[in-house]
Structure 1
Amino acid sequence: MAKRVQKPPSSSRQRASAQAPASQATVERIARALERLAPSTPETPRFAAADAFSWHPDERRLVPVANVNRVEMSLLKGIDRMRDMLLENTERFARGLPANNALLWGARGMGKSSLVKAVHAAVNAAHARRKGSDGQLKLIEIHREDIESLPELMALMRGAPYRFIVFCDDLSFEAEDTSYKSLKAMLEGGIEGRPDNVVFYATSNRRHLMARDMMENERSTAINPGEAVEEKVSLSDRFGLWLGFHRCSQDEFLAMVDGYVAYYRIAHPRDKTHREALEWATTRGARSGRVAWQYVQDLAGRLGVKLQDKGRRADNR
């Protein structure tokens, strides 16, 4: 009797068996990729961890800032009126009273952002003296390019048992930029509006947050020139408090230099300091708090003096 010859496994069965592990690995890779693409659940902020935070929209989280680069209020010279108005507005807000969003606009280097950070520190310190607790007022920094993520940031702060200053430094918009709409909705419009525990402070070199030549260009090419830039210009109207910063006089500039020299205890003849500081300003083509600080840095370096407590230095941006 002839023996039955056993047939080898079919090639299709072999291919299926070999492809199974590969297919499973592919599915797992796809699943991991989808998890990375899917929006993650926002991390609940630990607001008690710090007094200041930086907003990272890609990670949808607030990163604590342990050491804020700020300056003592007493070192900000020549801006007394703006200082008093912003301080009063911030104190009211910290007490739960009505307060305005603030736009600090004007000359470069005159202490706009330094004032915001100094006021935040001063109000928190005053609250600590009265209440015996620290950090009830939080400073949240958002970068200009992240303005469109404001609704997500507002959602994290809404209902939190703290009060927040959302701060954007050097805010401005270009002609084709539409991200201003997110800011406009947060400041006044929108269904939910701005949370009661949030106020928005911004600094800008432009009073209307966009360049004058861009405004004129839109007016000249629009069908209705009167309405061409109205939407963008009206954004600045959403700030109830406008604080203008202008170039300082020679006396104010020298007062800034004297303030830094005294604060850091730099031993140097006053008349020589003034002469050098004015020469320094001439080479820079401007007198401002930033230029005064840069001269003091140079002076301290030449004299071999270390500027202690750099967390309080005055960059006056």
Structure 2
Amino acid sequence: MSSPLSEAIAKIRFRQHQALSLLLYQEVMAEPIGQAFLSLLDYMLQGESHQTLQAYSYWFRVQAEQSQSWQNYLITQILRADNPFSRQAQQCDLTALNPSLIAATRHDLEILQTLYKCQGTKIAQWVQAIAQIPQLPIVWEDETIVVEKIEELPLRNQLSQSENWGDAIEAIAAHYRKYGTGKFAQSQAFRWRSGQLMAIANPDPIHLNQLVGYEPQRETLLKNTEFLLAGYSALNVLLYGSRGSGKSSLVKALLHQYSDRGLRLIEVTKSELRDLPQVIEQLRGVPQKFIIFVDDLSFEEDDDAFKALKVVLEGNITARPENVVVYATSNRRHLVREFFDERPRPQDHNEIQAWDTVQEKLSFADRFGLTLTFEPADQETYLTIVRHLASQAGITIDPEDLDYRARQWATRHNGRSGRTARQFIDFLAAEIALADQ
């Protein structure tokens, strides 16, 4: 007759076998919580009391660090999976996929559901029996699950209530087609660094309602972005104008305005522009829409980045994906530095078609479909921005005093601009808060 401990060992070995039998969703076990779970199973099978307790403690800790229970973690990994099934399912109908791929997916989903049913309390009981401790270890549980992405809620609820996750494959495939997979389903903003897309954990929180002034330029940019989101041909945009006029802030604010409609922002620095064709190919066929954001753009002579961006803007034999546009900001209208001694003179005997070279440089900005110009702020525009920001910050000082102090601040600091207005309001708000203490 088998003992309770031997029965527990058999169940643990079965769970381990299942976890190691995943065909497509192995990444579930590759993340810290999954790795800690496998390690715990391994030590429990070895029957090592001390190491089992340490492994359980670590598994508890990684759940606490991520504020995710084992059950919540498993569903999250399914919703954001990046594997052959999720990548293909987001691009075509389920009926067009290889039957073996579908069979493997059903197989994995059923395994993951079995692991999902392995409640934390049950695992804690196994640990208690193997480690021979008097009290049940504390179990990490989600009293209230905080859903980061509201679009995940319907499928999350469906899986938590389903009797067979394999039967939910159509709903899961539809979720991938609509919301994407992997990193693009997890994050909204990225930067390209050293050949990789790196997620930005805390994007700039600027919102459109915090920006005032330059309304015509803003409306044009919003309309172009709407074209992108609707699946129509959107234009690449150059935002040109004086420093501090809010060009970069306007582009960043688009992310918060439209992220729930699938917009993603990818920041590419000038030094990384040579990789732009590589970046774009990673975005082809993905359901989200992408703005490649290049801030403070300008080029020197014979700059490789100039050539790379030119290829992307003008196109080559490979068609540009319809879900990608380039939004760039610059303080230079013509983007490429030009010197007087570069201009052809009658006595020059170097380049026969020198004017062609000059015109190529000067016309580079024309390769953007839209050029939005941000003129320096006049005094009334500057004060309008100040009053708007003051209202949002809850500053209620006398309006005349506010205007006077704002003018003084601009004179003594960086001149009239949206950036100067923001710096003035931040300083004033801190000053008032400190005085009220």
- Structure 1 and Structure 2 fold alike (TM over 0.5): yes
Residue 158 of structure 1: CA displacement? 1.3
- Structure 2's unaligned 5+ residue stretches are 1-180
Partner of 1:235: 364
How many equivalent residue pairs? 250
Q: Which position in structure 1 is the counterpart of 2:275? A: 149
C-alpha distance in structure 1 between counterparts of 2:258 and 2:223, whole Å: 9
Counterpart in 1 of 2:242?
Answer: 107
The Cα offsets for residues 231-266 of structure 1, whole Å up to 9 and x where unpaired, read as 333321210111000011111111111111111112
Matched, 1:195 2:329: no
Shift of 1:108: 0.6
| Matches of 2:334 and 2:214, distance apart in 1 | 21
Q: Does 1:280 align with 2:280?
A: no
1:269 lines up with 2:398 in the alignment: yes
1:179–1:257: structure 2 CA closer, same or farther, 3 Å change rule? Answer: same
Q: Are the counterparts in 2 of residues 104 and 204 from structure 1 also a CA contact under 8 Å?
A: yes
CA distance in 1, matches of 2:251, 2:217: 10
Q: Pairwise mapping of residues 39-188 of structure 1 onto structure 2 (< 5 A)? A: 46-56=183-193, 58=194, 60-124=195-259, 134-188=260-314
Residue 296 of structure 1 corresponds to 425
- Match of residue 247 from structure 1: 376
SS of the residue 2:304 aligns to: coil
Partners of 1:118 and 1:285 lie apart in 2 by 23
Higher RCO (CA-CA < 8 Å; seq separation 6+): 1
> Residue 45 of structure 1: CA displacement?
5.6
TM-score (norm 1): 0.74
Deviation at 1:175, TM superposition (A): 2.2
- In 1: Cα distance, 2:285 partner to 2:341 partner: 43
Query: For residues 300-311 of structure 1, what are the structure 2 equivalents within 5 Å?
Result: 300-304=429-433
> Contact 1:163/1:197 (CA < 8 Å) preserved in 2?
yes
TM-score by length of 2: 0.54
CA contact (8 A) 1:165 1:199 kept: yes
- Deviation string 1:185-237 (CA, Å, 9 cap, x unpaired) is 111222214222111100000111123xx253322466333112233333212
Query: What is residue 114 of structure 2 aligned with on the other side?
Result: none
How many Å separate the matches in 2 of 1:238 and 1:73? 27
DSSP 3-state at the match of 2:406: helix
Matched-pair contact (CA < 8 Å) for 1:45–1:61: no
2:263–2:289: 8 Å Cα contact kept in structure 1? Answer: yes
CA distance in 2, matches of 1:45, 1:208: 38
Which whole-Å CA distance do the structure 1 matches of 2:203 and 2:229 have between them? 19
Question: 2:322 & 2:374 partners in 1: Cα distance?
Answer: 28
RMSD: 1.9
Deviation at 1:154, TM superposition (A): 1.2
Whole-Å Cα distance in 2 between the matches of residues 51 and 178 of structure 1?
29
- The 8 Å contact of residues 239 and 329 in structure 2, kept in 1 or not, is answered as yes
Separation in 1 of the partners of 2:188 and 2:407?
A: 38
Tell me the secondary structure at the aligned position of residue 343 of structure 2.
Answer: helix
The residue type equivalent to 1:103 in the other structure is: L
Distance in 1 (alpha carbons) for counterparts of 2:320 and 2:341: 32
For the 8 Å contact 2:188–2:263, the answer to whether it is kept is yes
Per residue, is there more helix in 1 or in 2? Answer: 2
Give the superposition deviation at 1:54: 1.1
Q: How far 1:46 sits from its partner (Å)?
A: 1.6
Residue 70 and residue 110 in structure 1: after superposition, are their counterparts in 2 closer, same or farther (change >3 A)?
farther
Partners of 2:209 and 2:234 in 1: CA distance: 24
